[in-house]
Structure 1
Amino acid sequence: MHPTFPPAKFQSFSEISDPDLIKPRVKKLRSLMQSKKLDAWLTPHSDVHRSESLPKNQRRLAHITGFTGSAGTAIIGTNNAALFVDGRYTMQAPLQTDTGIFEILEIPNEKPGAWAKNNLKPKAQIGFDPWLHTIAEIRSFNLQLKNHGVLLATENLIEKIWDDRPPPPFKNIELLEVGRAGVAAKEKILAIQNHLEDKNADALILNMPESICWLLNIRGRDVPNTPVVLAFAIVHKTKKPELFVDLKKLSPEQSQLLSAIVTLRTMEEFSVSLEKLAKDKARIWVDPTTCPDAIYKLLSEKGATIFEAPDPVVATKAIKNPTEVAGM
């Protein structure tokens, strides 16, 4: 007797994306682009923290295209548009977006900057949000564009037309004891400060939640699938790091405990601290593959010296301590 199996179940995207919503949204975006004298708008999947799994209020690419994959980029011109996805999503993307508006192109064979060069008019004005693109991404796009157009940093236009945008995530923060982390946060901070000393850098900018949470032994539930807190951090060579986070996520007891190892600040104070570093002519360590272009521009234009190198936390946390190994 042959075994029987239930019918195969295939993934469906109809419940989470409606291509019929895309046309009116793109129309609103193009109207706003025209008022800003922009010939195109560039938008990535990523948020400022380079997250793959995004909280609902950060899903800008999904809002304007309908595409809900974990990686992608779109360019919306006044009369044409393209959605760039990798090989995982060449079947999903056409089901979720309006293919009468968006041409679906597969990366790395097709590149956004090259598409812009070939499909936009000469000297096209291309708007982008500098907080959502890294230093390296903007350099790469400009190389592909080959002076055919100009990238213009501006406010985020998709947010302007997103009428029912959800609020930011609000989940409590968890502090890990040494028994769970294996190494105290103070020791981890000292190790990174030693890297700063070796490279003659005054401070390190962190926007990746994975690095920040590992360094400070904190966890959260701000994004799906990954137990991280959305935050920024500045690790100083000779004083306590600054942690920029929604302080309402911390209990009074947690705030007191964290204050022993970091200076707690609101998210809104991040730019203020960056400006102070720049005015002090500090030498600042940034990772060009993860650091937003906006941070680079702010620091360099205000007088800081930029040192570009990989985030040292990434390599440091890759070497697992016995407690971490036991927890695998």
Structure 2
Amino acid sequence: MSQTARFQSFEDPSHREGAARVAALRAAMAQRGVAGFVVPRADEHQSEYVPANAERLAWLTGFTGSAGTAIVLADKAALVVDGRYTLQAAEQVDTAIVTPVPLAETSVEAWIEANLPAGGVLAYDPWLHTPDGLARLERAAQAAGGRVEATALNLVDLVWIDRPAAPRAPVVPHPDHLAGEAAAAKLDRVRAALDKARLGALVVSDPHNLAWAFNLRGGDVSHTPLPLGYAVIPRDGLPRLFLDARKVTAEALAALDGLAERHDPEALTEALDALGAGKARVRLDAATGAVALRRRIEAAGGSVDVGPDPITAMKAAKNAAEIAGTRAAHRRDGAAVTRFLAWLAREAPGGAVSEIDAVVRLEAFRAETGLLREIAFPTISGSGPNGAIVHYRVSRGTDRRVQPGELFLIDSGAQYADGTTDITRTVAVGTPSPEMRDRFTRVLKGHIAIATAVFPRGTTGAQIDSFARRPLWEAGLDFDHGTGHGVGAFLSVHEGPQRIAKTGTVALQPGMIVSNEPGYYKVQAFGIRLENLVLVEETSLPGAERPMLGFETLTLAPFDRALVALELLTPAETAWLDAYHARVRAALDDLVDPETRTWLAAATRPLAEA
């Protein structure tokens, strides 16, 4: 195809310069007398998606995953990655220079403890580590007989000659009719939370929280409409925003008038000094607040309380306007995805569709809505064995055609001004094998178990995670990722604190949006994942003795009937899928073209019909 995706690059990651870059970093380490340097995949805000000037790990090693940490010593180097990226790391880095290490086998701290030389100094950038993260590094270094030491300048930055400039995308207001609450009211809620916790001020280090609290949006990073910056919200008085004046539009300034003071980023250190001198207890977000922030406040005599930013929980529970917006976004997005699935059904059996073709075509259908702002993350488009790589990212070097007899997995999402979407569908090209149908149906059963779950208030994501796994466990199978993550409202597609996972310790609350995405992956063969977004809502049960919650499914697009082994479904599960498909057809019928409408009618007919 001659089309090009607007938002996704297909360039092949390269480690061709990795040896020279690691050598340059080692020279900088030797010049400063340190034995090692830690390079996390992080920016100053611990963001999932980071600006180009913060892609230090990718520049140094060639690894482009969203999570990982390199530890470079004088004679060896490791890249520790979790299970999502084990295969990717091995393919992208020069393994003669950097050794990929699966997190399941060895943690960052364990590797440091085993390899840092006795008496060695492990250097780190205090802007890229949280206090808790630093404490783990300190314990590991001490166990090895060494110590950690902060650097005034990041050592990678010293040798990254052509490092990009900091981003300056325009900062604009997010309208109140979409936000559902004026920024002034949100800030009043934040101040009330500070007063209740007896805190004098909050340092807002998470750009997602800054964007939500002040009803602002930006474009400093890919896939999430964020303005990178900081804020200080005192219990009394006007908040201060630290944003580059060159990126703050006149409209944003007008919206902030009387609400907050705007300062250049360089003024942040002076503000931290003032907080310290004021002797008030200052809340620093445990998840995103850098060590550098804490040390600056404490050096000025202040008291830092490391804990959750109260904005995070407020942001997670969507209000009526945000819920209405996300419903509208999902209907629009569902039509685009359904047009894509109909196109795929026509084109793929002939072998004419590649993974890149699929990404480009899906993005085009979304763009034709006229309302697409960005894709929510790089689309995962995996055919056959590539579908078994959980976070596979197609490049020109890995691109392969979708072939008959294979499964094709596509995981994608979109950013619209009224909502954020995330959907995964797995489809059969040609006739699927009995094994494929069995595995697909077990994943579907787990998906339905989550979609239909009813649970009392106070239930955590960890308590219902196993609902999605039981059909797989019964066949001796499982998957190695969480069942669901939180999702924002025209913000991050991966939003905490809520999640459905073994580690999901936060109670689910009405208004929270989470994904429902169990999967199964047969290495070198195929991958299956079925994902819808669901909204936590109050529900009523006859005779219930406690307040109960359940889920409303937001995503609207068909599942592949050809992959359903009807004999494995219970009557209730069959009824759920038939009802869901009827709802999809009713919601999308007038949004799609006649050819897609015909396909949709067949794709959503009851399972009992041939």
Return the TM-score normalized by structure 2: 0.51
Q: Give 1:14 deviation, angstroms.
A: 8.8
* 2:190 is equivalent to residue 187 of structure 1: no
* 2:258 is equivalent to residue 260 of structure 1: yes
Task: Give the distance between the partners of 1:269 and 1:296, measured in 2 at CA.
Answer: 16
Pairs within 5 Å for 1:1-328: 15-147=11-143, 148-154=145-151, 155-328=153-326
Q: Secondary structure at the match of 1:131?
A: coil
Q: Secondary structure at the match of 1:240?
A: coil
Q: Which has the higher contact order (CA 8 A, sep 6+)?
A: 1
Which consecutive residues of structure 2, in runs of 5 or more, have no partner in the other structure? 1-8, 327-610
The 1:108/1:193 distance shift into structure 2, 3 A limit, reads farther
The answer to whether the Cα contact below 8 Å between 1:65 and 1:97 also exists between their aligned partners in 2 is yes
- Corresponding letter in the other structure for 1:153: A
Q: Give 1:108 deviation, angstroms.
A: 4.3
The answer to whether the Cα contact below 8 Å between 2:201 and 2:232 also exists between their aligned partners in 1 is yes
Q: Secondary structure at the match of 2:16?
A: helix
The answer to whether the Cα contact below 8 Å between 1:137 and 1:289 also exists between their aligned partners in 2 is no
Q: Give 1:317 deviation, angstroms.
A: 1.2
Task: Give the distance between the partners of 2:226 and 2:154, measured in 1 at CA.
Answer: 25
Q: Secondary structure at the match of 2:193?
A: helix
Q: Give 1:176 deviation, angstroms.
A: 1.6
The 1:14/1:64 distance shift into structure 2, 3 A limit, reads farther
* Percent of paired sites with the same residue: 34
Q: Secondary structure at the match of 2:297?
A: helix
Q: Secondary structure at the match of 1:285?
A: strand
The answer to whether the Cα contact below 8 Å between 2:172 and 2:249 also exists between their aligned partners in 1 is no
Query: More deviation in 300-309 or 263-272?
Result: 300-309
Displaced runs of 4 or more, over 6 A: none
Residue-pair matches, total? 316
The answer to whether the Cα contact below 8 Å between 2:141 and 2:148 also exists between their aligned partners in 1 is no
Q: Give 1:168 deviation, angstroms.
A: 1.5
- Corresponding letter in the other structure for 2:183: A
Query: More deviation in 50-59 or 124-133?
Result: 50-59
Write the deviation string for residues 259-292 of structure 1: whole angstroms up to 9, x where unpaired: 3201100011111100111112121011223210
Task: Give the distance between the partners of 2:135 and 2:141, measured in 1 at CA.
Answer: 10
Query: Could you say which residue in structure 2 is the equivalent of 1:5?
Result: none
The two structures, once aligned, show a CA RMSD in angstroms of 1.4
Task: Give the distance between the partners of 1:253 and 1:19, measured in 2 at CA.
Answer: 43
Q: Give 1:253 deviation, angstroms.
A: 4.2
Q: Give 1:101 deviation, angstroms.
A: 1.1
The answer to whether the Cα contact below 8 Å between 2:282 and 2:304 also exists between their aligned partners in 1 is yes
The answer to whether the Cα contact below 8 Å between 1:50 and 1:290 also exists between their aligned partners in 2 is yes
Q: Give 1:252 deviation, angstroms.
A: 3.2
Task: Give the distance between the partners of 1:92 and 1:26, measured in 2 at CA.
Answer: 19
Q: Secondary structure at the match of 1:127?
A: strand
Write the deviation string for residues 82-101 of structure 1: whole angstroms up to 9, x where unpaired: 00111111111111111011
Task: Give the distance between the partners of 2:184 and 2:91, measured in 1 at CA.
Answer: 49
Write the deviation string for residues 104-144 of structure 1: whole angstroms up to 9, x where unpaired: 11114311122112112112101110000111111122233
Task: Give the distance between the partners of 1:185 and 1:161, measured in 2 at CA.
Answer: 42
- Corresponding letter in the other structure for 1:82: A
The answer to whether the Cα contact below 8 Å between 1:188 and 1:215 also exists between their aligned partners in 2 is yes
The answer to whether the Cα contact below 8 Å between 2:130 and 2:286 also exists between their aligned partners in 1 is yes
